[in-house]
Structure 1
Amino acid sequence: MPDGARPLAEAVAILGEGAGAGLAARLAGLDHGAMGAAEEALVRAGILEGDSGLTFTHPLVRTTVLAGMSASRRERHHAAAYAVLAERGAHPEELATHALHIEPARDPERVAILRAAAERARVLGAPATAAAYLRRALAEPPPPELRCEVLTELGHAEARAGLGEATEHLRIAVAEASAPAARARAALELARALKFGGDAVRAVDVLEAVPPALDDPELRELVELELIGLAYISRGARERLAGRIAGLRDPGHAPQTRLEAFLLAGMAFDAGAGGLRPAAETAGLAVRSVAGDLMPVDAREGGYGMLVAGVAAMWADRLDDASRINARMLDEARRRGSVILRVSAASMQALVNWRRGRISDADADSALALELARDAHGADALVPAARAVKALIALARDTGRDELARIEAETLDGDSDPDALPYHLLLHARGLLRLAQGAHEPGTEDLLECGRISLAWGAGNPSVVPWRSDAALALARAGARRRAARLAAEELELAERFGTPRAIGVAQRAVALVADDDSTLPGLERAVATLTDSPALLELATATTDLAHAQRRAGQKTGARETAALAQELAVRAGATALARRAREEALASGARPRRVARSGVGSLTPSELRVAQRAAEGHSNREIAEDLFVTVKTVEMHLAKAYAKLGIRSRTELADALAETAMTAR
């Protein structure tokens, strides 16, 4: 090839996709004639395409050209490209791409360009890219008076990308800050990183050390908001901040500040946890708190308020409201590229779908949360909720004793944070797992310990977790019926005081089953009637199955057959394989000939296949799905192919109908 071919190929490799011919020629040091000959030779050889700027025919070719250059030669080319682009007034992002590969030179202008490019990346939802630019800006290094700001911006980006270096960079920023406002901003970011990393108590220390007399009222509000919010993520922080949260008061009007919006969310959470107000009032507070645009959606900002409101709405059986709140967080996670927010929202939605009795959806949500959290630093706070749901799903699907034993061992492993508020959910799930495997004493103790921890942080409401009814059933099986009856009666009284049909129906079922008299059958009838008016499909299926058994034992074979058939239908709609099998056995024992439990269709999809199929059915492209789920396009294609095979369809256009048919059945 002509002598200019290699310099031109190297220049295009440095400049990237769609390099302009003039810029590439200047970087390669070629005049017009040499440039034309080199370009023609490279295009003819199938190395470059020249239709819309100069581009390599395949990324591998560009990689090969770059690999053939020495490190010093690449650095010189990037420096030359940076200089030419700066001269032409290029955008910061174009310049930053080359600045990453240039030796530091204590250039304040370069620091400013890298920070501007990082801000643009942050806005576009690419926090990892923003972090790369800011790390390079820090290495330049910035002028001393800007170092704290750069460290704070870097920690902010790293935390949102789930990178472990965030905490250390923010700690240094707090230590080096000279101005009170700069220290407060760094402390805010550090506290946010710590709270999701399982160290909310230290986050309290960080924020309480912020000088109270800040000149910026908005900054003062943010510090106070974040400090109060720590009480809703950690038992230790909650104890430290008991005085602050005890003083929360309803402003009596629509919230006008972020702090007022969070106060309403906090009050809703406290009312729901303790059953301090009726469910309708609790839900009203939660909905009011998020009605406007004051509440920050990102769980790392604004004191955790959106999550707090969503949890309160869930406890109050307002599952549609809770789902809408979670959807807002998911949308924000996509927009910002925030792995931590994605984990948080998916964990919460897993709980909501579990309470609805949508086991496949809950499985997909919990699997996504756990998958993303595996490689994300600082995602510890809400992962216990996803892990608890995963364990409960294993029980509902009857995955086998070996699998149950494995999940039980993983449920409370060394990574679990006992200080995190959702920790009691893990104890509840492990207790049920142990009971299912015949370990009655340790299983019952787990349930009672769940109760002790729940009560210790103010969660006496059975709508939070029905540990009393589950412990009562375990105690009754062990012969301790008097104690079992007391626990079940206490749960029913508390549930009726709060007023959610799901919690009341669950407690009514427990009271009926632990009774040692003729009240079992009418008690179960009341439980089924209550749960019929609730959003809790799985609990309704469970109580209906128990009712069929009680009817059969009472000699009501006709009623038992009809009830068992209904129970099987409800269990199949929920995706509860084990319960559907039990209901079918009840129907057979009553003389019916029920259909077999289906083992194909949507229920056979893995969580990953289901969530990809759902998004494809909604009209999202493979690339959009990949970006949303933080996977490759190839992975999306693989999951879709498997979903088509299991659903018995051949194309994307049939997905919506296949999934909609199941959704109609589930209703």
Structure 2
Amino acid sequence: MDAESLLEREHELETLAGALDAALTGAGSLLLVEAPAGIGKSALLRAARRLARDRGIAQLVARGTPLERALPFGVAGRLLERSGERAPREPLAVPDDDGLGLIRTFAEAIVDLAWPAPASAAARPLLVVVDDAQWADAPSLRVLVHLAARLDDLPVALVAGVRTGEPDAPSELLEALRGAGAARTLRPAPLGDAAIAQLVTRTLGEHASPELVRACANASGGNPFYLRELLAAVGSEAPRTPTADQLEQLVPDSVLRSVLVRLARLGQAASRLASAAAVLGDGATLDAAATLAELEPLAAEQAADVLADAGVLDAGEPLRFSHPLIASALLADMGSFARARAHRRAAELVADAGPERVAMHLLHARPQRDPAVVTPLRRAAALARERGAPAESVRLLERALAEPPPAEQRPALLLELADAGIRSGAADAPERIEEALELIDEPHARGAAQLALSRQLHHVGEFARAAALAGDARAALPPGDPLQPRLLAAHVASAFLDPGLHVQSKAMMEPLLAAARRGDLPHDPGLLALLAMRMAEAGEPVATVRTLADAALAGGPLLDHDSHGTSLGFLAAALLWSDELELAERWLAQAVAAARRHAAVLPQFVACYFRACVHLQRGRLAEAVADAEHALEIHRYGWASSSAAATVLARAQLERGDLDAAREAIAVAETGDERRPEHVLLLEARARVRLAAGDHAGALADALAAGRHTERYGAAPSARAHEWRPIGARAAHALGDTRAARELVDEALALTRDDDAARIRGDVLRAAGVVTGGEEGLALLAEAVTLLERSPALLSRAHALAEHGAALRRAGQRRAAREPLQRALELADDAGAEPLVARVRDELRALGLRPRRAARSGAASLTPAERRIAELAADGLSTPQIAHHLTITKKTVETHLSHIFGKLDVRSRTELPAALTAGEQAAADVDARGDADARPDAAPAAP
């Protein structure tokens, strides 16, 4: 059917033509054609291809199918295969900053077709068509999302067809496509009465009575596919035409059954070939379908021509159904055992097409104790894991296990399944590994399995068992075995976190620490991360910790993939405690991105938690909240305790002035196991919340309990890792217990006297200055400010400036107080630290100043992070695209956008450009009038 013959699709065709014309001028666009099955979206996509041919525009075309959803990058690969380009087969060796890895590689290959060379002045307009995107594999959909983010600069029309109403459609990825800045959605409606009458009349001629037309409309609901098949069924009854009453009894299911009846009338060969093509899936060769259908070549060719003439298949090869509903009807008509048997035979026929295509059929075939099928399933699982699709890897390996595999392959398969399960967030990995251990006798292989199990027991908090298992494995292997360093790292890590094994942990670490101080570093990244953490906790020089961190990071941002975030967490803690926030921020952004690329659940959550800590210290409170909330999602997977993420969330909410939200986060943290090491974080955070709420006694009790908890776990005698002393000192001071307050700050001052981590020492000096008071207190606060000037911890700097300014005002040094208070106000306002802003403004007013009123609305009220996101949104980027661009979570973007919309008083993204422009003009007008803010009042207030 020509584009011109599509009925009641003028708007859709005009929009498609407009997108292609725009591509000719160098402008890209994304069109989503969304409709229920049979409404005509595929016909519109075919029309788009014809319109592109008329304009000389090159095309890339692919289609999703239910059978191939387990094939990572299957749709993206077919797009490139049909262009003559080679689809990338391996992930990038070095993770890129935006974390899209192989996804980006595929997308860039498509981009290269539109821009043949960087220096080329002549772009090639391109149409990219993906039909049935709801059945596309997830990595391919991510390729489309990434490509959509580039469309503003590309001469590409991207058109995707999406069948609505599919219960297992990848809604999040499809929503990311819908949210692309260049996206428009076409939703073709059911045919109206006039179009139905025209089609019925065209088919039935003089038999098309008004009553029959109305009956066809009622039976088909205006669905073009159902109407066409209904009319085909009516036509097959000629010269006896059904009555209107008979037609009105038909429903879509019966229409599909009529398709099968019509196929049967085409002959046995055609029916068998159609069924074989449905089993093989779109893109099958005629030879494969003929073999599966048990037809001779000539009979198969004749049957294919008959099916094409009847509109069941498209003409030519490869074999494709004119509509997916026909294939669905054929598959549904087959008995389940017959269908499974056909898929197993299909797997044999496509053996030369690679393990992934074989595995797609084996997933739908019954296990039959055939060891030969295990190998392609394992190979396909390995490819899926490498391409960042561990959930598909699990599915494939579980199918291989069900076959079952030969006895000698079962242990390795169980370990592969456990590894893929860990990466996808499954919690049954330990059981898989334990089963494998029962079957392994060879020492090295057994040691590898014990290492894997030890790490998983560590993640679920069974530190003693994890340490014992790693220790047993070490003892069973010779000293020179390559597993020894990794087993030592696992042994020490678990022993370090178990209160009963601290002596053992320190004994194991001491030779390594002594060697590291001499510059003799181990090569294993897990050991390097452990050493960095222990040295940072003990207050050793920051440069030493930095050297260890650089060595650990040499192998990539995730350090040790097999530790599933443990090594990553130790190194992140080391950098946080050493005030190396800038390095930590850069690295953790890469770690989050790499974890997303590999679909590694645990490393992603660990990295998000520590990045939330970094954001908190750097005064990016909205980002800290978003990352902490994202890290809390680990609860869904049954792995680590939620306490740590909930405590940083509580602290961030407290700094923002939302005491209720902080209390809610504390309540979440209180559900954790108080025997675990991170319980100290809950005690410290709860002490802060109680202090802010005026519960000084409760705050002091929590702070002292935190100190006892650290002693129980044998923490090093330093103040880097834990902050209970300054918190407790402030609480005791508020209670009037000067002696207790001084004891706590004196102890903290002594521990940090030689500490070169600026934030740690600066925070202690600030608490000491508040507690001490007088001239000595002023000196301590001034020292805190000086020290924090060289720290990237902007929130600590803001608090120190505020305390110093307030102390100067109380001491009568009014002029000297102005500058630190004004700087504190600027930092606090940028951070969104509302309680600190309010306090500093009160201090400035007490000086008789009129502090600049912090803008609460308009563009001037946006923080730097909000402005950046607002500008990207104004440029048309969607929430997922902004998240990818800035390597932050979607939750962060959503949080910022909600604030941005409120401040700018807009309801949609389309209003953002005008609101930002108006804000810039208003700011320019203010500057032109001169800044009269922060000047003395005529009658200064008393100090």
**Shorter-chain TM-score category?**
0.7 to 0.9
1:496-535 aligned at under 5 Å gives the runs 496-535=753-792
Confirm whether residue 196 of structure 1 aligns to residue 459 of structure 2. Answer: yes
Q: Which residue of 2 aligns with 1:168?
A: 431
Q: Which residue of 2 aligns with 1:430?
A: 686
Letter aligned with residue 511 of structure 2: G
Letter aligned with residue 336 of structure 2: A
Q: Which has the larger radius of gyration?
A: 2
Q: 1:177 to 1:467 in 2, by over 3 A?
A: same
Q: CA deviation at 1:239?
A: 5.0
Letter aligned with residue 831 of structure 2: A
Q: Which residue of 1 aligns with 2:549?
A: 286
Choose which of 451, 467, 491 in structure 1 pairs with 2:724. Answer: 467
Q: CA deviation at 1:52?
A: 7.5
Letter aligned with residue 334 of structure 1: R
Choose which of 695, 701, 706 in structure 2 pairs with 1:439. Answer: 695
Q: CA deviation at 1:144?
A: 1.5
Q: 1:436 to 1:409 in 2, by over 3 A?
A: same
Query: Which structure has the highest helix share of the two?
Result: 1
Choose which of 361, 378, 381 in structure 1 pairs with 2:639. Answer: 378
Partner Cα separation in structure 2 for residue 267 and residue 625 of structure 1? 33
Can you list the C-alpha shifts for 1:122-179, whole angstroms capped at 9, x where unaligned?
1112111111111111111111122111111111111111102211111111123222
Q: CA deviation at 1:651?
A: 6.7
Partner Cα separation in structure 2 for residue 103 and residue 513 of structure 1? 73
> Matched residue of 1:391: which SS?
helix
Asked whether the 8 Å contact 2:454–2:466 carries over to 1, the reply is: yes
Q: Which residue of 2 aligns with 1:565?
A: 822
Partner Cα separation in structure 1 for residue 871 and residue 840 of structure 2? 30
Asked whether the 8 Å contact 1:75–1:101 carries over to 2, the reply is: yes
1:566-585 aligned at under 5 Å gives the runs 566-585=823-842
- Give the TM-score normalised by the residue count of structure 2: 0.61
Structure 1 range deviating more: 178-187 or 4-13: 4-13
1:541-556 aligned at under 5 Å gives the runs 541-556=798-813
Q: 1:297 to 1:283 in 2, by over 3 A?
A: closer
Q: Which residue of 1 aligns with 2:355?
A: 92
Choose which of 228, 231, 247 in structure 1 pairs with 2:511. Answer: 247
Letter aligned with residue 406 of structure 1: E
**Structural RMSD (CA):** 4.1
Asked whether the 8 Å contact 1:471–1:484 carries over to 2, the reply is: yes
Letter aligned with residue 154 of structure 1: L
Q: CA deviation at 1:547?
A: 2.7
Can you list the C-alpha shifts for 1:553-605, whole angstroms capped at 9, x where unaligned?
33344444444332221101122122112222222333322344444679989
Q: 1:195 to 1:126 in 2, by over 3 A?
A: same
Asked whether the 8 Å contact 2:883–2:893 carries over to 1, the reply is: no
Partner Cα separation in structure 2 for residue 492 and residue 518 of structure 1? 17
Q: Which residue of 1 aligns with 2:65?
A: none
Partner Cα separation in structure 1 for residue 913 and residue 503 of structure 2? 54
Choose which of 258, 266, 275 in structure 1 pairs with 2:523. Answer: 258
Confirm whether residue 324 of structure 1 aligns to residue 586 of structure 2. Answer: yes
Partner Cα separation in structure 2 for residue 630 and residue 20 of structure 1? 45
Asked whether the 8 Å contact 1:360–1:603 carries over to 2, the reply is: no
Can you list the C-alpha shifts for 1:162-207, whole angstroms capped at 9, x where unaligned?
1022111111111232222232121111112111122222111222
State the identity as a percent: 32
Q: 1:619 to 1:61 in 2, by over 3 A?
A: farther
Q: Which residue of 1 aligns with 2:245?
A: none
Partner Cα separation in structure 2 for residue 152 and residue 69 of structure 1? 37
Q: 1:309 to 1:465 in 2, by over 3 A?
A: same
Q: CA deviation at 1:73?
A: 3.8
Q: 1:623 to 1:527 in 2, by over 3 A?
A: closer
Q: Which residue of 2 aligns with 1:158?
A: 421
Choose which of 131, 141, 145 in structure 1 pairs with 2:408. Answer: 145
Asked whether the 8 Å contact 1:528–1:543 carries over to 2, the reply is: yes
Structure 1 range deviating more: 93-102 or 596-605: 596-605
> Matched residue of 2:637: which SS?
coil
Confirm whether residue 224 of structure 1 aligns to residue 488 of structure 2. Answer: yes
Q: CA deviation at 1:435?
A: 2.2
> Matched residue of 2:848: which SS?
coil
Structure 1 range deviating more: 339-348 or 313-322: 313-322
Confirm whether residue 494 of structure 1 aligns to residue 759 of structure 2. Answer: no
Q: CA deviation at 1:306?
A: 4.1
Asked whether the 8 Å contact 2:485–2:527 carries over to 1, the reply is: no
> Matched residue of 1:297: which SS?
coil
Asked whether the 8 Å contact 2:278–2:330 carries over to 1, the reply is: yes
Q: 1:152 to 1:610 in 2, by over 3 A?
A: farther
Q: 1:513 to 1:130 in 2, by over 3 A?
A: same
Q: CA deviation at 1:80?
A: 2.6
Letter aligned with residue 801 of structure 2: T
Q: 1:108 to 1:566 in 2, by over 3 A?
A: same
Q: CA deviation at 1:484?
A: 0.2
Partner Cα separation in structure 2 for residue 466 and residue 450 of structure 1? 9
Can you list the C-alpha shifts for 1:311-357, whole angstroms capped at 9, x where unaligned?
21221111122233323432431332111111111111111222222
Q: CA deviation at 1:495?
A: 1.9
Choose which of 64, 74, 81 in structure 1 pairs with 2:339. Answer: 74
Q: 1:390 to 1:642 in 2, by over 3 A?
A: closer
Confirm whether residue 391 of structure 1 aligns to residue 650 of structure 2. Answer: yes
Can you list the C-alpha shifts for 1:598-621, whole angstroms capped at 9, x where unaligned?
44679989x999999989999999
Partner Cα separation in structure 2 for residue 612 and residue 173 of structure 1? 52
Partner Cα separation in structure 2 for residue 22 and residue 628 of structure 1? 50
Choose which of 458, 469, 480 in structure 1 pairs with 2:715. Answer: 458
Q: Which residue of 1 aligns with 2:664?
A: 406
Asked whether the 8 Å contact 1:315–1:463 carries over to 2, the reply is: yes
Asked whether the 8 Å contact 1:395–1:433 carries over to 2, the reply is: yes
Letter aligned with residue 225 of structure 1: A
Asked whether the 8 Å contact 1:266–1:309 carries over to 2, the reply is: yes
Letter aligned with residue 432 of structure 1: R
Q: Which residue of 1 aligns with 2:78?
A: none
Q: CA deviation at 1:499?
A: 1.8
Q: CA deviation at 1:78?
A: 1.6
Asked whether the 8 Å contact 2:347–2:362 carries over to 1, the reply is: yes
Q: Which residue of 2 aligns with 1:349?
A: 611
Partner Cα separation in structure 2 for residue 258 and residue 620 of structure 1? 42
Q: 1:447 to 1:610 in 2, by over 3 A?
A: farther
Asked whether the 8 Å contact 1:96–1:114 carries over to 2, the reply is: yes
Q: 1:141 to 1:161 in 2, by over 3 A?
A: same
Q: CA deviation at 1:645?
A: 4.5
Asked whether the 8 Å contact 1:617–1:652 carries over to 2, the reply is: no
Partner Cα separation in structure 1 for residue 418 and residue 628 of structure 2? 28
**Aligned residue pairs: how many?**
640
Partner Cα separation in structure 1 for residue 610 and residue 428 of structure 2? 26
Q: CA deviation at 1:33?
A: 2.5
Asked whether the 8 Å contact 1:118–1:131 carries over to 2, the reply is: yes
Confirm whether residue 54 of structure 1 aligns to residue 323 of structure 2. Answer: no
Q: CA deviation at 1:29?
A: 5.9
Partner Cα separation in structure 2 for residue 532 and residue 80 of structure 1? 72
Asked whether the 8 Å contact 2:730–2:741 carries over to 1, the reply is: yes
Q: 1:240 to 1:78 in 2, by over 3 A?
A: farther
Partner Cα separation in structure 1 for residue 670 and residue 647 of structure 2? 9
Q: Which residue of 2 aligns with 1:131?
A: 394
> Matched residue of 1:176: which SS?
coil
Q: CA deviation at 1:500?
A: 1.7
Can you list the C-alpha shifts for 1:484-543, whole angstroms capped at 9, x where unaligned?
011112212222321222122211111111125443334323322222221111111112
Partner Cα separation in structure 2 for residue 637 and residue 438 of structure 1? 33
Q: CA deviation at 1:475?
A: 0.5
Letter aligned with residue 541 of structure 2: P
